Amino acid sequence: MTISAEVVVQRNTENLLTSEVGDEMVMMDMDGGNYISLNKIGRVIWEQMAQPIQVGELINYLTTRFNVDKATCAADTIEYLQRMLEQKVIIIK
């Protein structure tokens, strides 16, 4: 499945351990035994996903918060979310 603005995403809390480490986050996927780290932006995204959120809404939030142009933000966010999806850090609702 691919990420797009209409899709709703949420945290994959099953089998995922998380730990805040400085400005970033480190996570462990208990299933695969993989370690994943989220940088500052990734951490902000994660924090916005305390409840399921539509990707478009997330993009709007990030655009405002980081004061960047919407098109770039949209592209970058979708790419980042896609990677998080592949790492099983998030799921599509």
Partner 1 sequence: MYHYWGSGLTITSEIEFPELLPYEHTGLPDLTISIGTVPNQLAGVATDKKVCTASNPTEYLLKLLSIANYYASGGNSIIVEPLAAADDKSIRLFLLNSVMAAILKQRDMVALNASAIQYQDGVILFSGRTNVGKSTIISQLKQKGYGIFCDEACILQTGVDGQIRVLPSYPAVNLWADTFEQLAEPLPPEADKLRPQLPKYALRYHQDFNIMPKPVKQLFLLNDLAINMPVEIKKLSPVEAFSEAHNNIFYRQQIYPMKKEAVHFLNLSKLTKDIPACLITRTIYRDTFEEMVQVIENQIHYNG
Residues near partner 1 (CB under 8 A) are: 17, 19-24, 26, 28, 30, 33, 35, 37
Which residue type occupies 47?
A: E
Q: Tell me whether residue 3 or residue 38 sits nearer to partner 1 (CB atom).
A: 38
Directed axis angle between helix 40-48 and helix 55-66, to 10°? 130
> Per-residue DSSP letters for 38-61?
E-HHHHHHHHHTSS-EEHHHHHHH
Nearer to partner 1, 21 or 68 (CB): 21
Q: Which is nearer to partner 1, 35 or 66 (CB)?
A: 35
Give min distance, CB of 32 to partner 1, in A: 11
